[in-house]
Structure formats: structure tokens, C-alpha cells
Amino acid sequence: MAGGSAGGRGAGAGGRPRPQLDVVFLRRFLRIQAVLFPQWPSRNALMFLTLLCVALLEQLVIYQVGVIPSQYYEVLGNKDFSGFKALTAIALTLIVVNSTLKSFDQFICNLMYVSWRKSLTEYLHRCYFQGQVYYSLHVLHEDIDNPDQRISQDVERFCKQLSSMASKLVISPFTLAYYTYQCFHSTGWLGPVSIFGYFVIGTIVNKVLMSPIVSKLVQQEKLEGDFRFKHMQIRVNAEPAAFYRAGRVEHMRTNRRLQSLLQTQRELIGKELWLYIGINTFDYLGSILSYVVIAIPIFSGVYGDLSPTELSALVSKNAFVSIYLISCFSQLIDLSSTVTDVAGYTHRIGELQETLLSLGRRKNENYSEAKASWDLDSYAGEDAAPKDTAFLLERVTLSVPSSGKLLIKDLSLRISEGDSVMIVGNTGTGKTSLLRVLGGLWESTRGSIQMLTCFGPRGVLFLPQRPFFTDGSLREQVIYPLKEIYPVSGPADDERIVRFLELAGLADLLARAGGLDEQVDWNWYDILSPGEMQRLSFARLFYLQPRYAVLDEATSALTEEVEHELYRVCLQLGMTLVSVGHRPSLEKFHSWILKLHGEGRWELMRCERMKRLPSEEGC
């Protein structure tokens, strides 16, 4: 063991610009597309190519169906019955084929939605869970609101909306090019130019109307997440709230969140009204524009030599081409409301993605993982001898990340096998914060830290102040997190679990749970008392049998007698303990006491002789 003291650091956050349809949106959208289409060939890329082929075939059939009315004018005008029968048979066949292709189009879009959601969610999960990033995101970077909603709901809605317009977007370049050519062939240059001018005006107007909707949609999604979180907060803390008789207060607070959400939704609906007016206006203007475009060559005498029947057939065909070209543009304008939704979700997902990647890339330069053991010949304390070491701290300074408040200054400490350490001090002096640094959750302000890389069995195991229990059976609670790493089962393993439950004083829990492997539908936090939760945590500790156990007030809800028994079993199982606690009765289980005084000051004492090794602050 060695001793030594620390400096502070502050954190600040600047305001983010309002989300809108701009370069930032485009960059975030393209970055998400790189996740959806990581390489060629991939499943998503092949589905997208299949959708393109189906959409092209569908458009070819639609064109054939579209010119059939002009052919009906011709056969009916000429009273050609045999031609009428043949044309009707062709029309019915084309309608069936078109319906089939359209159904396949929708089917592929739905498959793409599921596949996109899988790809994007799994990608975000990888970034979220890698290297404890989820901890930093929730605890140290609270500027990202509701990450759970962004991953679960926003991704789902983004993929749903994007897949709903994928077919129209993928086919638009081809249909626009083809029907522009057909329109030019029928009406001359004036027709396509008029239609393109109409589309440009519609796009500019919709862009102006869409921009405020995007930022308002992002705000609405944030408030949706806050409202849902409030209900989850009541659900998780129902009993403490009930003891406080807090129903009326929480009712008012929850209603305030609801009113804030509804007010934003009303504002969003008001802004969408003008967008819908623009969309519908351009839709109806498009239907009139198509006839104006056709009328120009007719009134200019281009088709003056045609008979009424031939002119009707020609007008019908040209009307279909012009109307369909306008319809292609109108469909793109109609997608404005969908685009605003996609843009809003793009900003929320993209912002989360950027933060996750940033946190994932950040490396603590002061924190390096070491081998399982070091040869520490430099140890200068009494009875020094090289031993397997779990933690090696050299002149470490620790401050609160959010405020920069100084907790510990220039702490040098080595925790070796057999040298258990008890950390004591008043509230707010940095006891739990030091454990966060040892666990790699916080970065030190200054100094270097090395630690044992092996966690779990035969390595290091942390028991936090608040126990964590996953969903699942009793066995899964005891062996957590081993089941997801490698399967654990068998009669010998069952005997070990039962024995450790008995050692932890939870023999009756086996019957209450219906056996080790009975899948329960309850929340473990609801059926276990605080003391039982801590006992179950120790049963997990006994089962995993790490070489080093870091305990953060892990027996605070238990009596001294129970605490004594649990610590005795830990030592019998060969564990070296690092404990945060307040009871003097714990001292006999430790070799050293690290006392924190706050403001950077600390002192290290040996339990046997209570030898003081003061820090430079002169504790």
C-alpha cells in the first residue's frame, strides 16, 4: 500500500442549433444510410434492388394501363367489337398483373422496414453497450434526452416512414425521365417546362412550410419521452411514493408534463395545417395544369387535320402522359409531411449516433488496463513483497465530472491479493466516486490507474450500492451475467447455487420462486425487501467467487450479525475485499483503512497497528 492527494475539472454544455432541413440533416441522413446499406452485396441492398425491379415493372404496366382509355376511344369510335373484346382481355390481364406487382411492392417495403429496423437498432445497441457507453450517456452526458426512446421508438418510426416512401423515391428518377420525354414528344418543350416550373415553385413553398415543423416534431418527441419516463418513474418507485402519500403531487406533476406535450402537439398541428393547404392546393392545380398543357398544341392548330375520334384518342393519351408526369411531381410534394417526420427522427437518431460514437472513441489517457499481475518491486511499505495486484493508482486526482468539485488529490494506492481495504468517510467525500474510477466508469483528473482486466470469476467483481437484477429465473439472478456469456447448468451447479443461497440466508427464496429455472413474471425489485436484495447479491458473489470483491455499502440494509457472516464467507472463499462502509465492525475483515476527508484530503491506516500514512495535505 502507498499513499499520496488532487485537482478539479469542470464540464459545460453549449446549446444545440434547432433541427431543420439543412446540411446537418443531410449528413446525419447519409450516415444512417451507411448503417442500413453497409456493403454490396448485403441483404438490405438486395431487397432495395428487388424493389427497384418490381417498381420498374409496375411502371411499365401502369403505362400500358394508362393508354388503354385512348384505345377504347378508337375501337368504340370505329364500332370494332372484336377489337373491343381483345382490348378488354388485355386490360383485365394488365390490371391483375399491376395489382400483383403493387402488392409485391408493398410487401418488399414492409420487409425492408423490418430489416432496416434490425440493422439500425443492432448498430445502436453495439455502440450503446460497448465499453460502458450507456453509463456515460445516462449519468455523465444528460444533454441527450431519452436515449431509450430514440433507440426503441424513433428508430421504429424512422424506418416505417422511410420504407413507406421508398418505392416512390426509388422509381421517381426513371418515371420523371420517361414521362418528361413522352410529354415533350406530345406537347413540345412548353409542356415539360411548365410542369417543371410548377414543381420547383411547389418545392420552394413546401421547404418554407416544412422547416418549422421539423424542429417542432423533435420537441414533441422529447416531451413524449419525458411523459413516458414520468410514468415509468412512478411505476418503479410506487411504494416509496405511496409512503409519502404523494399521489396528489405526482398527479399534478404528471398532468403538467401531459399539458406541455399536448400544447406542443397543438402547435405542431397548426404548423402542419399550412403544409397540408400547400400540398392539397398543388394537387388540384396539377389536375388543371395537365389540361392547360394539352390545350396549347390543340388551340395552336397542331392537330387540326385529325377527326374528332382520332383527336379524342390523342387527347386521352396525351392527357394521361401529362397528368402522370404532374402526378409524379405531386407525389413527391405529397411526401412533404412524411419527409418532415423522417427529418425529425433523423436528427434525433443522428444526434444519438454522434454522441455514442464520440463516447466510444474517447479513451481515458490516465487509465490503462494492465496484465493480471505486476512485479511491483517499487513497493516501499512494511513487509513488502511482489503480489498479484488488482488496482494500482499513482498520484490520482479525482473530481466530480459535472461540477469539477475536488474529491481526492494525489492518491497513490496498491490493492494486492490478501490486502483488503476499507474505505470510510463522511457523505460526499468521494467513497463511491473512487469505486467508479476503479471500475472504469469515471476518468481521473490526473494520475495513472492500472487494473486487473479480468472481471467476474477469478477476477474482479463489483457489488454496487443498489443491486441489479435482470428479468428471468432465480438461477439467472444468481449466475448473472454468465448465462449470456456461456451456458451454466447441471446437477453440480444446482447444488452450488442452493448452497450459496443458504449461506446468504435465502433458503426460502427457492420455494417462493418455484425452483431455479421457473420463469417468473414478476419484477424482482417488487418482491424482495432491501435486505433480501443485498443477500441475493452476496449469493451471486459467492457463486462467481472472484479474487477481488469491491463492495459499496453492500450490507447497509442488514444487521451486524448477518454482515459478519457474509463477510466471513467471502474471506473463506479466498476473496480480497475493497469495501465502502461506516460500521466499525467491518474493520476486522480488512488490512487497511482509507479515510477520505473531502476537498482532496485523505489518510491511509493499517488496521493491525493503526499506523497512519498521512497525505500531503497533512491529515
Distances (CA, A) of 311 to 44, 183, 305, 519: 48, 16, 9, 76
Q: Is residue 322 within 8 Å of residue 185, measured between CB atoms? A: no
CA distance 455 to 461: 6
From 2-11, 107-116, 154-163, 187-196, the region with the lowest mean pLDDT: 2-11
d(CA 288, CA 150): 43
Residue 375 confidence (pLDDT): 30
Checking if the pLDDT of 77 tops 80, the result is no
C-alpha cell read off for 274: 399550412
Backbone angles phi, psi at 114, to 5 degrees: -65, -45
pLDDT, residue 198, reads 76
Distance CA 352, CA 348 (A): 6
pLDDT-derived band at 303, boundaries 50, 70, 90: low
More confident residue, 524 or 291: 524
Mean pLDDT lowest for which of 15-29, 272-286, 300-314? 300-314
The overall pTM is greater than 0.75 = no
Q: Are 171 and 177 in contact (CB under 8 A)?
A: no
pLDDT tens-digit map of 311-329:
676 666 666 676 777 777 7
Mean pLDDT computed over 285-292: 70
Question: Residue 612 pLDDT > 80, yes or no?
Answer: no
Mean model confidence pLDDT for the chain: 80
According to the 3-state scheme, what is the secondary structure of 353-368? HHHHHHHHHCCCCCEE
Task: Give phi and psi for 335, each to the nearest 5.
Answer: -75, 0
Q: What span, in angstroms and rounded, lies between the C-alpha atoms of 297 and 33? A: 45
Contacts of 501 (CB under 8 A, 6+ apart): 478, 507, 509, 510, 539
pLDDT of residue 576: 93
Average pLDDT in the 473-481 region?
Answer: 87
493 band by pLDDT with thresholds 50, 70 and 90:
confident
pLDDT score of 93 more than 60: yes
Mean pLDDT to the nearest integer, 97-115: 90
Decide if pLDDT at 230 tops 70: yes
The long-range contacts involving 245-254, CB below 8 angstroms and separated by at least 24 positions, are: 254/227, 254/230
398 — phi, psi (to 5°)?
-130, 130
Give the phi and the psi of residue 576 in degrees, each rounded to 5. Answer: -95, 130
* Dist CA 474 CA 477 (whole Å): 5
The backbone region for 428, taken as left when phi is positive above 0, alpha when psi lies in -120 to 50, beta otherwise, is left
All structural domains of the chain, each given as residue ranges with its CATH number in brackets, are 29-361 (1.20.1560.10), 368-614 (3.40.50.300)
How many C-beta atoms lie closer than 10 Å to residue 374's C-beta? 17
C-alpha radius of gyration, the chain, whole number: 35
pLDDT at 384: 37
Picking from 414, 398, 378, 338, the residue whose alpha carbon sits closest to that of residue 592 is 414
d(CA 7, CA 617): 13
CB–CB of 250/241 below 8 Å?
yes
pLDDT at 548: 92
pLDDT at 193: 79
Query: What region does 254 belong to: left with phi over 0, alpha with psi -120 to 50, or beta?
Result: alpha
- Rounded Cα gap, residues 401 and 141, in angstroms: 10
Give the range among 254-258, 370-374, 540-544, 614-618 with minimum mean pLDDT.
370-374
| Greater pLDDT, 285 or 566 | 566
According to the model, what pLDDT value does residue 483 have? 62
pLDDT in tens, 334-389: 677 788 888 889 999 999 999 898 888 764 333 333 333 323 233 333 333 335 78
Pick the residue with more confidence: 530 or 317? 530
Q: Please say if the pLDDT value at position 541 is more than 90.
A: yes
447 torsion bin: left (phi>0), alpha (psi -120 to 50), beta (else): left
pLDDT in tens, 576-605: 999 998 888 898 999 999 999 988 899 998
CA 119 to chain centre: 12
pLDDT, residue 120, reads: 95
Taking alpha carbons only, the member of 159, 148, 161, 154 closest to residue 221 is 154
Q: Quick one: pLDDT band at residue 41, thresholds 50, 70, 90?
A: confident
CA end-to-end span of the chain: 17
Distance of CA 201 to the CA centre of its chain: 38
Name the band, by pLDDT with cuts 50, 70 and 90, for residue 459.
confident
The proportion of the chain whose per-residue pLDDT surpasses 90, expressed as a percent, equals 25
pLDDT digits (tens, 9 = 90+) for 414-456: 998 888 999 999 988 999 999 988 888 888 888 888 887 677 6
Strands 421-425 and 592-598: parallel
